[in-house]
Chains A and B, each alone.
Chain A
Amino acid sequence: MSVISLEVEVLDPIGLHARPASQIVKLVKESGLTITIGRPGEDFVKANSALMLMSLKIKTGEKLTLQFETEDAAVASDLHVQIQEFLKG
């Protein structure tokens, strides 16, 4: 399985808090894909748990990498756009 990596930026003024975290988890679960998220160069977490996402304590302005385990670039791109939208605040 190939992995597609795409970057997002957290624009929400209070960082990655409960609401965007839950929105991301909901989307990830609906997609049925394995998606991981994290700061470049650090350990990634699976994006299936809002609590795990929140525990990364990501602040406004940070850039994150999303890794989609899929062959389908269109699907990954679509999810990427939606996740970026959640992070706008």
Chain B
Amino acid sequence: MSLAQGTILSGLGVGLNSSVGEVLVVKPQAPLPAWSKSSQSAADEKAALKQAIANVANTLDTLGERAGGTTAEIFEALKFLLEDEELFELAESNIDEGWTAGAGYGQAVDTFAELLGGDPDFDERVKDLQDLSKRVQADLAGIEMALTLPETGRIVLVGEDFSPADTAQFTKAVVGVITLKGGPTSHTAIICRSRSIPAVVSCGAAADLANGDTVLVDPVGDRVVTGGDESLATKAIEFVALNEDPVIPVRANIGTLADAQGASAETLAEGVGLFRTELLYLSAATAPTIDQQVASYSEILAAAPAGPIVVRTIDAGSDKPVPFLHMPHEENPSLGVRGFRLIQDHRQFIEDQLTSLEAARLATGREVWVMAPMIATVQEAKQFAELARGIGGYKVGVMVETPSIAAMVDQLEGVVDFVSIGTNDLSQYLFAADRMNPSLGALLNHWQPGLIRTLARIADGGKKAGISVGVCGESASDPAFAVVLAGLGISSVSVSKSQVTVVRNALSSLDLADCKEIANKVLAATSAEDAKAAALNALAKL
């Protein structure tokens, strides 16, 4: 063991429960060997290639089975490319020229990539092919590409950061996650929160942990304790719901039919505060027809928990690619054509989406609110509101994610019915810190005073304009922070399904005057640590 028992490693906690487990360090993958000529017979190389392709195909099958649904179809399609006959024949002819199996297959893939290249319709397939090529070459070289995690035991994964593909492979044995980099809004954090896996992110000192170390993952204490047991875990403030209803409504964030059903069956969420529609389109190769969209929306609206349902129009771009929109590569995609800006090139798609939502609203009789993401000016808000009001009878609003619109909320009177703050993106733009950059996690801590004061100004602007202001970012999933939001004058919060109950409990344990008092103490803080401590101290005294 490299670290003394009881060593405390600081980071940013995700979740409210602690866990103890054995460290499993996930190392970045070793580089693939350079292509070379083979010293073996062509027949041996061909047999090895066949085996490697079969191994990768098996991995894809396993991943597909584990993921199920649409993701399984994606893996099925990948397998089809992997096992393409012409690709294999070309690889064989490269092997006949003396190359190793890995080199032969890699070159064959490059040949096809070149044939398909330069055509935006095939860019994604070329990337898929290159990824498959790497997997085959890694298998031949005996390099582990996929995370192979045990199914049993209690393991705490330690890594730089985990990709969405990695997190999809977390097994039941993963009881905790520690990342050296990656902030509270990283994919790892979002997945861990939604699956209730305790995590500590942005914990650089965890680089000294070794396989087999026992650690306590203590998200409430924002720390990891080596050799620690549950008795050392920082207790989350126990919120005892004193009132039947929370001081402000707690809604659920959803993206799929399963989310809508789960939120209805498992929580007391009052409607949906964020329905992310892009998830419906991520795997579609072509734009779905209006009929298809109406069918999906109707099903989801009907299944959603009782109360209003706030639907966000497509937020493609940046980290959310939607294949059929064929969005060009950008130097800084989060500062690029994304969210509502798609109207430049994809007006028809946005109009079709609004038309579909209106038909689904009429079909289900649900109260639907519709909002556009990435609004930066009052003019854009007007443009969206006019478009949406011309199409449907829903309430119309916009997301507040850019500092520019945050400063103009008081001017939205008569323009929109409501705004909703996406604190993840708002933090990214406020602090000029890319959400995807794992080194900048600390700036994206929602207790940062710069963010809290901005939220206070947005709430004031909403009050002046007479429009409601909700928060649907990850920050609202922190119950203590949800109390602060209510105190700042936010009128509703929307959180992931797994957090609805704890956030509701917190907001049902005190009255609005208490919330305001706590928010005022937090507003006086000048660092994220002080802001959090001020809130927790004030809550503890109640």
Interface residues of A (CB under 8 A from B): 12-15, 17-19, 22, 25-26, 46, 48-52, 54-55, 57, 89
Contact = CB atoms under 8 A, between A and B. Distances in A.
Given A12-B286, A18-B77, A19-B77, A51 B84 contact: yes
B116 A55 contact: yes
Interface of B: 77, 80-81, 84-87, 112, 115-116, 119, 121-122, 125, 129, 285-287, 324
A51 B121 contact: no
20 contacts: A13-B287, A14-B324, A15-B121, A17-B122, A17-B125, A18-B285, A19-B77, A19-B285, A22-B80, A49-B84, A49-B85, A49-B86, A49-B87, A50-B81, A50-B84, A51-B84, A51-B116, A54-B122, A57-B116, A57-B122
B60 to A, nearest CB: 14
Contacts of A89: 286
A52 B87 CA distance: 9
A15 B324 CA distance: 12
A51 B77 contact: no
Closest 10 CB pairs of A and B: A49-B86, A55-B115, A22-B80, A51-B84, A52-B86, A51-B112, A49-B85, A48-B85, A49-B84, A14-B121
Nearest to A18: B125
Given A17-B121, A18-B77, A54 B116 contact: yes
Max chain B C-beta neighbours (<10 A), residue from A19, A49, A89: A49
A89 B286 CA distance: 8
Nearest to A25: B80
Given A13-B286, A49-B84, A57-B122, 4 more contacts: A17-B285, A49-B86, A51-B81, A54-B116
Nearest to B119: A57
Contacts of B286: 12-14, 89
B86 A51 contact: yes
Nearest to B78: A18
Contacts of B84: 25, 49-51
Contacts of A12: 286
B285 A51 contact: no
B80 A54 contact: no
A49 B85 CA distance: 6
Nearest to A55: B115
Nearest to B122: A54
A89 B285 CA distance: 9
A67 B87 CA distance: 22
A89 B324 CA distance: 12
B327 to A, nearest CB: 14
Q: Which of B112, B129, B287 has the most C-beta atoms of chain A within 10 angstroms of its own C-beta?
A: B112
B12 to A, nearest CB: 40
Given A12-B286, A13-B286, A50 B116 contact: no
Contacts of B85: 48-49
A68 B159 CA distance: 54
A26 B77 CA distance: 11
Nearest to A57: B119
A85 B419 CA distance: 45
A57 B112 CA distance: 12
A48 B116 CA distance: 17
A51 B324 contact: no
B129 to A, nearest CB: 8
Given A49-B86, A49-B87, A55 B81 contact: no
A32 B115 CA distance: 27
A17 B119 CA distance: 11
A54 B285 contact: no
Nearest to B79: A22
A17 B284 CA distance: 12
B285 A14 contact: yes
A22 B77 contact: yes
B304 to A, nearest CB: 31
